[in-house]
Amino acid sequence: MSRSLEQVDLIIVGGGMVGMAAACALKDSGLHVVVVERSEPVVRKSLGRDCRVSAIVMGNVQILQGMGVWEYIKDVGPMHAMRIWDDQRPGGIRFDAGEIGENALGYLVENSKLQAAMIKVAHLSDSINICCPAVIDSVQWHSDCVEVHLDDGRGFRTPLIVGADGAHSWLRQQADVGIYSHDYGQKGIVATVRPQMPHHGVAFQRFLATGPLAMLPMSDGLCSIVWSAADEEADRLMKLDDLAFLEYLNLTFGPVLGRIEEVGKRAAFPLVARLARHLVRHRLALIGDAAHTIHPLAGLGVNLGLRDAMVLAQEIVDAKRFKEDWGELDVLNRYMQQRLPDILTLLASMEGFHQLFTHNWPGLPELRGLGMRVIGNSGPIKQILMRNTAGLNLPVPKKIS
């Protein structure tokens, strides 16, 4: 082996929110962590805000607090409640944070602000080295280590490499890990809008025959929309000018917040559910979108990834404490076994919701309405559902110990 390789304890490929979360979780562990990111993040603005946002549930807010990240995130929109309707039908269901003894179900955070806060925390740590921009020339797995060579001549040797490089993960492909995938034939349209009336921290979601339309509360009275529609319809909506788009948005969403008066620049991305055939291999672990992607109708994709990062970090620290090799499958399988139930449950739930709300078979709309009324009046069952969705009951550490 080349003597020019620097020995490090962990390499994370991908410096997005999930990769940086894993690094920040390990900042006080005494481990030397290297994050390799291809390029600086590109921020697409919409009414002066990042058009890509994440609804961070309360359980994950606690995780970010434990990492020391949350204190650097400013100008977030609390979600005190959520209201859900089935198309234009009356009724619906409301989830209120007070029902589970919380002030908020979560917070809407611009992705770029969350990532910037993580990078700040990482830079404050002497044990985290961020290589950006940097491209990996080659990665080679050996029985006792992984060798990584960058295009600038730097090289590293590590017991474990972590793939956090997104849905089209280069590292996952290099490891010859396949994926299960389901293309919904839809795109998600995102943009920042300004409604006429205050949203009071309430998130709204209307299920349409073509997919859900969410209106999520931001600060300063703004909202972020996530509008899922079939590819052809999404392409049509993206081609409309702002005035025509606003007219159609108002017609579709309704007058709940008065008139939607302004819309910023729009972006659209394809909706595909994915699951890696292996979350772990010898000296490899996948987290975040490299491991799984889900339909955005519940806004939980990033939350899954943050929980991946936290559980993996805890397993690595535990292995260090007991002098285990954290690149061995015995350790990595513990991470996989903890994460699979959460991942599979959400994948199945999102698929079930998608099928349930995008079909109008005879009697199905009435059944959906009955189901929402039952859940809305179920008391303790509703509270358990809310706490699980908010990540408060899940066996995920809130701080690395």
Domain boundaries, the chain: 6-180+272-389
Would residue 29 be called left, alpha or beta, if left means φ above 0 and alpha means ψ between -120 and 50 degrees? alpha
What is the predicted pLDDT for the residue at 203? Answer: 96
What is the predicted pLDDT for the residue at 88? Answer: 58
Per residue of the chain (401 residues), what is the pLDDT tens digit? 445 899 999 999 999 999 999 999 999 999 999 999 999 888 999 999 999 999 999 999 999 999 999 999 988 989 999 998 876 565 678 899 999 999 999 999 999 999 999 999 999 999 999 999 999 999 999 999 999 999 999 999 999 999 999 999 999 999 999 999 999 999 999 999 999 999 999 999 998 877 889 999 999 999 999 999 999 999 999 999 999 999 999 999 999 999 999 999 999 999 999 999 999 999 999 999 999 998 776 567 899 999 999 999 999 999 999 999 999 999 999 999 999 999 998 888 777 666 655 656 666 666 666 666 666 667 788 888 889 888 898 889 999 98
Closest CA to 63 of 21, 35, 97: 21
What is the predicted pLDDT for the residue at 86? Answer: 79
Q: How many residues does the chain have?
A: 401
Closest CA to 250 of 321, 193, 202: 193
User: Could you say which DSSP state residue 40 is in?
Assistant: P
- Separation CA 176–CA 166 (nearest Å): 16
Among all chains, which residue has been given the structure tokens 């078979």? 361
H or E element, residue 50: strand 49-50
**DSSP helix/strand/coil, 372:** helix
Record the pTM. Answer: 0.93
**What one-character-per-residue DSSP string does 272-322 give?**
EEEEES-SEETTEEE-GGGTEE--GGG--HHHHHHHHHHHHHHHHHHHHHT
* Spatial contact of 383 and 52, defined as CB atoms under 8 Å apart: no
User: CATH classification of 6-180+272-389, choosing from 1.10.1270.20, 3.50.50.60, 3.40.50.300, 3.40.50.620?
Assistant: 3.50.50.60
**What one-character-per-residue DSSP string does 162-216 give?**
EE-S-TT-HHHHHTT--EEEEEEEEEEEEEEEEESS--TTEEEEEEETTEEEEEE
| Span between the terminal Cα atoms of the chain, in Å | 35
What is the predicted pLDDT for the residue at 63? Answer: 97
- Separation CA 304–CA 76 (nearest Å): 20
- Separation CA 287–CA 313 (nearest Å): 11
- Separation CA 65–CA 52 (nearest Å): 22
